[in-house]
Chains A and B, each alone.
Chain A
Amino acid sequence: MVIARRGVLVLALCGATLSGSRSTAAQSPVSGFGRAPTAEELRAIDIEVTPDGKGLAPGSSSASAGKSVYTRRCETCHGPTGKEGPQDVLVGGQGSLATSTPQKTVGSYWPYATTLWDYIRRAMPFEHPGTLTADEVYGATAYVLYMNGVVGENDVLDQTTLPKVRMPNRNGFTSDPRPDVPLKKK
């Protein structure tokens, strides 16, 4: 293990010498702890999807094809139309965020479609996370977006089209301005 690490170190130093750009003083390993992960190990855990679509798995589906996934795997907790619960309401609420009874749903609140794909793949169904195939994740994602009027019934979502889906509340988020209270006297 240590020998392997030294090998990596030597290569890194050679690279730095050749390129002459990297600061080896700040970047050299200190302890020798740790080992390089195998490609297989990384594939097993490297699951996040960013808004640009990096991390999306190959596969595709549409709302019409994904309806059966929703019915089988999602409906018990989220209701036949995504509005009934008993768990998180997924559909509706657009135009409600500035009222006294805001409804934060995928359609009214979520800024990125990639987040929905990531979360379904990562954590859903609640009692059996990680059991959906990539096509099923695309299908459930498409169906929830379709129920919210965000995509058409036969729009195909895949690695290329999903990141391009424009969510209604895409521009609804601001950065943290605190401390905001008490108000500063001008």
Chain B
Amino acid sequence: MHNRSRRRFLGLGAAWSAVLVACRPKTAAPVAEPRALGAAVSSYGSRSPHEKSARFFNQNTKVPLEEASSRTPLHDTYGIITPSSLHFERHHSGVPVIDPATHTLTIHGLVDRPLVFTVDELRRMPSVSRIYFLECSGNSGSEWRGGSTDSDVQRVHGLTSCSEWTGVPVAALLRECGIQPSATWLLAEGADAGKHARSIPIQKAMDDALVAYAQNGEPIRPEQGYPLRLFLPGWEGNTNVKWLRRLKALDQPAMTREETSKYTDLMPDGTARQFTFDMEPKSIITRPSGGDTVAKGAHQITGIAWSGRGTIARVEVTTDGGATWNTAELQSPVLPRAHTRFRWSWTWSGDEAVIASRCTDDTGYTQPRLAELIQVRGMNSQYHNNGIQAWKVAADGKITNGNRA
């Protein structure tokens, strides 16, 4: 039974199957036939009860959980797609309950024809599906000030996830409304309690922005903006406004709280950088990583790399603290503004080691060391840390955050 379904999965023809069966070692112990029936078909699937992987969020905090974040368990996700149920969350006023039959998207402001679209209409318009990462600009923010030795890849870097998003190009909707030449910015606003709002340059809206209604083949989940969210490939998470209710064409940015007092990067001289939209190239080793204990011998080092500016061209892995770098294997597909899976085979000798990855994208930019970022931006900038993540392997095989070493 098991072998037959496996062969089907591999897509082998009958002849090859016969050869494989003939070649199978004769010494394998026979597997006991199951004697009880399994479960019946069901209307909605769930994972094995043996699997416990979960988003992480800090429950002992003064921050209300409605404006908190939860982090993707990157150490036990595979390939490049994040299960929707494990996609990271960041809300500013909780997850609203929205009826798609009554929710609408209004486009107004500096347009010839303000229009209200129903969710059903948007689902009927010409759509595109694209695989894109989404990363919170606060991801990896703990490391600006040295981080914590015992933190793991989920706690440090779990505010990035990758999905297939389906929706309507914003450019098509703006053309529908007749965008006026004086429109230079687009205010995007959600229908959540606090009406989360960001100003987006009109060029991005006309380039590759989507009004997305589906994620990984199903309607977007409530935590991700059901029924509609703005999706801006490669741009910091909070600009991808969830529960999208309106887009207003303006001749200036609205200067909302989220683009002035928050999500701005404080520099050592006391000035702050504003509208730092794209997430710069970054890679991290997800396995083995902080909290793991490795045994001597062969290991597969694996992780993810991504660039908000383009496509990953190369990932390198070091196992000697950066003295030498080895080119990792990239798993296809390697897509623009998407997580890219990389692998490198490593034999651990049992001596102390520092392992890390660095990526280069097709613009020629190579991921810097955290120390290089701090040299320019200081330690107060809070957001947009794309520095190299080091993991320290102790002689007993225990792995800890190596950024402080």
Chain A interface residues toward B at CB < 8 A: 8, 12, 22, 26-31, 33-37, 41-42, 45-52, 85-87, 97-98, 100, 102, 104, 106, 109-112, 114-116, 118-119, 122-123, 126, 129-130, 172-183
Known: A174-B274, A181-B368. A104 touches B115 (CB 8 A): no
B195 A178 Cβ-Cβ under 8 A: no
B62 A87 Cβ-Cβ under 8 A: yes
B113 A29 Cβ-Cβ under 8 A: yes
Task: Give chain B residues whose Cβ lies under 8 Å from the Cβ of A52.
Answer: 252
Task: Give chain B residues whose Cβ lies under 8 Å from the Cβ of A31.
Answer: 125, 172, 176
Interface residues of B in 248-302 (CB under 8 A from A): 248, 250, 252-257, 260-261, 264, 266-278, 280
Known: A12-B112, A37-B108, A41-B106. A115 touches B256 (CB 8 A): yes
Q: What is the bound-complex CA distance between A47 and B191, given in angstroms?
A: 12
Q: What is the bound-complex CA distance between A143 and B380, given in angstroms?
A: 29
Known: A45-B246, A46-B248, A173-B260. A178 touches B276 (CB 8 A): yes
Task: Give chain A residues whose Cβ lies under 8 Å from the Cβ of B122.
Answer: 33
B194 A123 Cβ-Cβ under 8 A: yes
Known: A34-B116, A123-B194, A181-B368. A173 touches B254 (CB 8 A): no
Q: Which of A41, A111, A172 contacts B270 (CB 8 A)?
A: A172
What are some 10 contacts across the A-B interface (CB < 8 A)?
A29-B177, A42-B114, A47-B195, A104-B266, A111-B260, A173-B260, A173-B264, A176-B275, A180-B377, A181-B373
Q: Which of A46, A104, A173, A182 contacts B368 (CB 8 A)?
A: A182
Task: Give chain A residues whose Cβ lies under 8 Å from the Cβ of B175.
Answer: 26-27, 29-30
Interface residue range, chain B: 35 or more
Chain B interface residues toward A at CB < 8 A: 62, 64, 67, 92-93, 106-108, 112-117, 121-122, 124-125, 172, 175-178, 187, 189, 193-195, 197, 245-246, 248, 250, 252-257, 260-261, 264, 266-278, 280, 365-366, 368, 372-373, 375-377, 379-380, 384
Chain A nearest CB from B37 CB (Å) reads 50
Q: What is the bound-complex CA distance between A129 and B189, given in angstroms?
A: 15
Known: A37-B106, A112-B260, A123-B92. A48 touches B197 (CB 8 A): yes
B108 A173 Cβ-Cβ under 8 A: no
B254 A48 Cβ-Cβ under 8 A: yes
- How many Cβ-Cβ contacts under 8 Å join chain A to chain B? 175
Task: Give chain A residues whose Cβ lies under 8 Å from the Cβ of B271.
Answer: 97, 172-174
Q: What is the bound-complex CA distance between A90 and B113, given in angstroms?
A: 41
Known: A29-B178, A45-B106. A181 touches B112 (CB 8 A): no
B261 A104 Cβ-Cβ under 8 A: yes
Task: Give chain A residues whose Cβ lies under 8 Å from the Cβ of B272.
Answer: 97, 109, 172-174
B114 A102 Cβ-Cβ under 8 A: no
Q: What is the bound-complex CA distance between A93 and B115, given in angstroms?
A: 44
B116 A36 Cβ-Cβ under 8 A: yes
Q: What is the bound-complex CA distance between A123 and B44, given in angstroms?
A: 36
B112 A176 Cβ-Cβ under 8 A: no
B266 A97 Cβ-Cβ under 8 A: yes
Task: Give chain A residues whose Cβ lies under 8 Å from the Cβ of B365.
Answer: 179
Chain A nearest CB from B127 CB (Å) reads 12
Q: What is the bound-complex CA distance between A104 and B272, given in angstroms?
A: 11
Chain A nearest CB from B252 CB (Å) reads 6
Task: Give chain A residues whose Cβ lies under 8 Å from the Cβ of B273.
Answer: 173-177
